Structure 1
Amino acid sequence: MPSKANIVSTYALLVFIWATTPLAIVWSVSDLHLFWALVLRFFIALPLAIMLLLILKVKFPTDQISWHSYLAGSFSLMGSQIFTYIATSYLSSGIIALMFGLAPIMAGLIGYFGFKQRLSRLQWLGMVIAVAGLAIICFGGENQHINPIGIGLMLMSVFTYALSIFWVKKVNANIEPVAQATGSILVSTIAAICIVPFIWQYAPTHIPTAKSLLALIYTVVMASLIAMFCYFKLVQNIQATTLSLTTVMTPMIALLIGAVLNHEALSAMVFVGAFILLFGLFIYFYRDLKASRTLAQKIKSNS
């Protein structure tokens, strides 16, 4: 089992990657057509993922159930990211990260309406508070690169991402995480190839700026590959509620990174809305965090 320092550093790296990825996406489309930036991301990620699969000598299942699982997983990649990339025309990187903080709430709603999972009153309260915060952000940032169309696109992105998680779990294929990720990237790449004829007219006619290229490489290497390993390593070694807290931590860090590195000036109302949204997320997780803390104390007292 990895040491505590190893787990903490992995957790910190994952938070850092997830907080910086929205800005990398925004920068990658600064000198590339947004759909080409998305397509090239998967074209580059696929051979790297296959290489890692071969180096780690992980079996890649090709039966019908496995392909079903790869298809389901691709909705958290191409399915979700296509809305995110379009949203870059309407939202700042910090707000994009903030919207992804709603993933647990979206997953809760999908579980409630689609899979008959129960939600506590505290969770419903957390949802209402988070939505109120989102409304304040919409009205408080309408003149600051925060557009309702972008908010709608990101809600679709988060919904598709959360739905993909449920779909993969329902398929319940016995696949190694690295193989699952590679298969999902493969299906996403096939979808990207299907998009190419429709965007061929926007194909790059010059070498993109170093900033755009480096951002594209960052989304491939850090967001698509290294973050994947960090995530699945943490899934195996820490409690789910602790891992879920990354959705609360990353948006505020992303807002600060966007403000410092990309000069994304946000109004006081936007920050108030962000704080209320994150407070709603905290309320949503409160019962799970309390139960997790009680369990940790019991384990400590018995050891």
Structure 2
Amino acid sequence: MNSNSSSMMVTASIYALLVLIWAATPLAIVWSVAEVHPMWVLIIRYFGASLIALCLLKFMRAPLPLDAVSMKSYLAGSLNLIGAQLFIYLAANYLTSGLMALIFGFSPLIAGLIGHVVLKTHKLIGLQWLGMGIAVAGLSFVFTDSADSKINPIGIVLMLISMVSYISSIFWVKQIDAPLKPMSQATGSLMISALGSLLLIPFIWQYFPAQIPSQQAIIGFVFTMILSSIVAMLCYFWLIKRLAASTVSLSNVMTPLIALVLGATLNHEHISPNAFLGIVVVMLGIVMYFWKEWRQQYFAKARK
């Protein structure tokens, strides 16, 4: 096996690991908050992840700049963590893990809409608008058909707020454009998130865990603290340096489907035939949205 083939295998393996972690994270969140208040889980997760990240940073001998620009970038990154994740944890009490993943799969579409309408950074073509419409129609069909499932409008609103926080964080970090290494950015954002989460304690002190949760809850908690917060982050930053954005964005099609299968298999989450049809329609809409980007990437490679 030559070095090029070996490199492709490594890249494919890391890509598959990232997709699996992202797909399993909603289920891990649902498990972790089943017996412990969501905000306590979030606080412990961020402090644990911060300590692990600091150890990795020291091992990698990477700096952690504390100048004004870097601190601003950490704050912007924390909007994705303590901002977006806070609402995801709250939504876990209202939605199944599969539907959480499906809704969050709309993040690139919402980001494109904000870039087109608000920031004027790029223009959406007709096929992308059509893809958005089809995806929204499919999601609406899923919710309508699943009236007897664990679906609550509050959960949907919380997930939408989470998506806006996540997308805003991305745009803000890019706008600041601090000269930071990925691990430094991630560690700083985790630390800001951990410190920010302390503000929640006066409101949730009465829900402090009084006993050790079940093995399933502990598995979910450890998964989110180590794999979701650290490993996935390292995989993501490794991939975006080596693959086109369009290739990485393909995970937004695969992740919800895998998450739905995991939820149904490991957590007995029911998916009716009609709801499954709606999910397929959502995936079709997302594929249509990304088609232009994937096609451009294909022809760019062909010209080389």
TM over 0.5: yes
**Residue 190 (structure 1) shift:** 1.0
- How far apart are the structure 2 equivalents of 1:143 and 1:180? 43
- How far apart are the structure 1 equivalents of 2:275 and 2:76? 34
Q: Classify the secondary structure of the residue corresponding to 1:59.
A: coil
Aligned to 1:175: 180
Aligned to 1:25: 29
Is it true that 1:226 corresponds to 2:231 in the alignment?
Answer: yes
- How far apart are the structure 1 equivalents of 2:47 and 2:148? 36
**Residue 241 (structure 1) shift:** 0.2
Equivalent of 1:158, from 163, 181, 198? 163
Is it true that 1:198 corresponds to 2:217 in the alignment?
Answer: no
Is it true that 1:38 corresponds to 2:12 in the alignment?
Answer: no
- How far apart are the structure 2 equivalents of 1:43 and 1:16? 24
Is it true that 1:67 corresponds to 2:71 in the alignment?
Answer: yes
Q: Classify the secondary structure of the residue corresponding to 2:241.
A: helix
What do residues 222-279 of structure 1 show as CA deviations (whole Å, max 9, x unaligned)? 0000001100110011110000000100100110010000000122222122111111
- How far apart are the structure 2 equivalents of 1:148 and 1:75? 23
In 2, are the aligned partners of 1:138 and 1:147 still within 8 Å (CA)? no
- How far apart are the structure 1 equivalents of 2:147 and 2:187? 39
**Residue 280 (structure 1) shift:** 0.6
What do residues 150-201 of structure 1 show as CA deviations (whole Å, max 9, x unaligned)? 1121111111111110010001111000000001101110111111111000
Q: Classify the secondary structure of the residue corresponding to 1:263.
A: coil
In 2, are the aligned partners of 1:138 and 1:148 still within 8 Å (CA)? no
Larger mean Cα displacement after TM superposition, 118-127 or 19-28: 118-127
Q: Classify the secondary structure of the residue corresponding to 1:169.
A: helix
Is it true that 1:114 corresponds to 2:114 in the alignment?
Answer: no
Aligned to 2:132: 127
Aligned to 2:99: 95
Question: 5+ residue gaps in structure 2?
Answer: none
- How far apart are the structure 1 equivalents of 2:154 and 2:53? 34
Aligned to 1:251: 256
Is it true that 1:84 corresponds to 2:119 in the alignment?
Answer: no
In 1, are the aligned partners of 2:47 and 2:191 still within 8 Å (CA)? no
- How far apart are the structure 1 equivalents of 2:278 and 2:91? 19
Is it true that 1:51 corresponds to 2:68 in the alignment?
Answer: no
Larger mean Cα displacement after TM superposition, 44-53 or 141-150: 141-150
Q: Classify the secondary structure of the residue corresponding to 2:180.
A: coil
- How far apart are the structure 2 equivalents of 1:200 and 1:56? 37
Aligned to 2:192: 187
Question: 5+ residue gaps in structure 1?
Answer: none
- How far apart are the structure 1 equivalents of 2:46 and 2:282? 32
Is it true that 1:288 corresponds to 2:281 in the alignment?
Answer: no
- How far apart are the structure 1 equivalents of 2:8 and 2:290? 23
The TM-score normalised by the length of structure 2 is 0.96
**Residue 133 (structure 1) shift:** 1.1
What do residues 7-42 of structure 1 show as CA deviations (whole Å, max 9, x unaligned)? 000000001100101000000011111111111110
Equivalent of 1:208, from 204, 213, 217? 213
**Residue 114 (structure 1) shift:** 2.3
**Residue 109 (structure 1) shift:** 1.4
Letter in 1 for 2:115: G
**Residue 202 (structure 1) shift:** 0.2
- How far apart are the structure 1 equivalents of 2:275 and 2:156? 13
- How far apart are the structure 2 equivalents of 1:271 and 1:83? 26
